[in-house]
Structure 1
Amino acid sequence: MGHVALGMGRPRSPAYDPAVCYESARVIVGPFLLYIGRIANPLDIKTSRGMAVFRREDCVGEFRHDDGPLTLGLPRFDFAEAVAAGARTLILGVAAAGGRMDATMIADVVAALDAGLDVAAGLHQRLRDAPAIAAAAQAGGRKLYDVRDPAAPPQVGTGQPRAGRRLLTVGTDCAVGKMYTALHLTAGLRSRGVAADFRATGQTGIMIAGAGVPIDAVVADFLSGAVEWLSPARHDNGWDVIEGQGSLFHPSFAGVSTGLLHGAQPDAVVLCHDPLRTHLRGLPHMPVPDIVMCLDRNLAVARLTNPMVQAVGVSLNTARMAAPDALALCGAIADRTGLPCVDPVTTGVAPILDRLSARAIAA
């Protein structure tokens, strides 16, 4: 039976002193039913999609309405059918407008609870704060899991150097593959016999990894401190691969990106980019920044806490491109930046890992 340990703390690892590690007793119990509902924008179901890709063995199927245009390619169940198939928890894996549930979502969650499912969500609006949902959960004795409850202690960042090596994924915009890239890099390092831990900072990554800090729910003064807490000193010559959020060039989310750059003290950064996007997400009046300029700006901000930070690669999301065009674009960006350029899903991340090894970044 799959489960996600949810304390949003640091996952236990032999590389760390147990005295500074945290494991929560709160557990999201699987198997899972993944929610799509009536969502029409593929970017808005990235949590459900992430679970389907990286936790497929723990997912029995998906729930979507008849008029819902999207699918994850999983068996389709209603709530009663999902319970009969063994599902224990509905993952409300959507990024709703404003982080709030609409009337359809609330009604669906109530129906899921009435059918015997627990519910987990990572929205800014907590499940427990919706009266109908709270009442249904109480009446049925069901559990609600609000993934965006921060667990990191309220501490300011210090910028004090700490042992270990850290890689942070950064982006030209939001939702350009920072989590996917970080997960693939972590898996790639481990496949080479290098100790590596994925450090989740968003709802999707936390559900996949079972731990992390929902960085956009942390009070602004404590952003960098939360990242320092999430990625403590390590002494095994391994890597913490930290999931980036937002973009320095997105006026809505640049503050979170800055806090991550300062708190992570990254030794290496990988820039993530969607080459077909013409403007910043949700801001049609603002174009996507130039890749080279974006790399330079991220390195400049990161140097406040790690003057030795290096860029080691560019990661593209080429899912909507023909394979020959994607490969040609990777080559062109590699020539322009002097860095390996990959699509982690289609080409893998080996060139970036080779660069990381060649740079011989010391712990």
Structure 2
Amino acid sequence: MIFLVLKVKMGGKQVSSSVAVLALITLLLVVSVSAKIPDSTLKKIQRVNSRGPYLALLTVYPPEEAAFNASKIFKEDEKSHVDLSGRRFRVGTVNGVKVIYVRCGVGMVNAAAATQQLADFFNIRGIVHFGIAGSLDPRISYGDVAVLKRVANTAVYDWLNPKANTTHSHVTKDDLIIGKYHLPKKGNENSNSLGRVAFRGERFFPPKGEPNVDISETWFNSTEKWLGLASQLVHTVKLNSTGLPQKAKVVVGVNGSTADISLENLAYRTFLYDEFRVSVHDAESSAVVMTSSSNGYKVIAIRGLSDLSGADKAGTPSYRDITANNTVAVLHDFIQILHDNGEA
């Protein structure tokens, strides 16, 4: 740690306090990150950050990125991108707002890792997470776009002994009793040796809490002010309904469910909706919102509905691309709203 010693006089000359602080920050950055990150990358990050702060945009997989690129809303500075741990963080503007965009990759680990990289390395003011997802709610359908009020990780549970007499659930009124979903019915529910699943909350480290002390949390909220501003989208954004079975709409303030599960089972879909009252299912949102909240950043999740998570009929056409485009349209208008209200 001898490299952290900084003298105010260098080469016999007095160094200003601002220069000294900048030098110290640079040294702290160098010693606090992996030695595998090249010096050239660290210097590039420093140059990018000097032009910030930025609004961070985080999406998931190639079809969403393709819609984002095709929309032409992103004016990229192609010389300023940063390649870090296999991901490319792209720098530019949307509606004149400075942004850093990254595609995190599918799943909760990827989502949390990319969010933490944004928090650790870049000069950001908040994170807007966007992408497509599945609908669990009969009120929202193909091509609709949901702005999430809160989201839970519904893959945090105890798989109980089927002979257990008491519930362990912390967050639902009922366990998932797998035997209830025999189709066709075969005897009573206790005959299924898969037993029961009891849900519980995440272990969360609050940004202003006691160090190394976690608390149990089920729901992670989008930033209240941003959610309030997003309510304007219901009346202003224009979505494409071409080829959809209904007119596409924006829905603000619904609950989301996240798990590393491709949800194609109607019985489980019904259980999640009945117990959690969740309208949207994906594999990343809770990780992004939880990680952002733990670092004290403003955050919101915007998800378009491309399928019905197990309720789709056989032969249903894919609405992925039109939904991805609608999601980007909502993103575009939301960034403008943030800018108009001094939030970006």
Structure-1-length-normalised TM-score: 0.27
Q: Which has the higher contact order (CA 8 A, sep 6+)?
A: 2
Q: Which has the higher Rg, Structure 1 or Structure 2?
A: 2
| Larger helix share, 1 or 2 | 1
Structure-2-length-normalised TM-score: 0.28
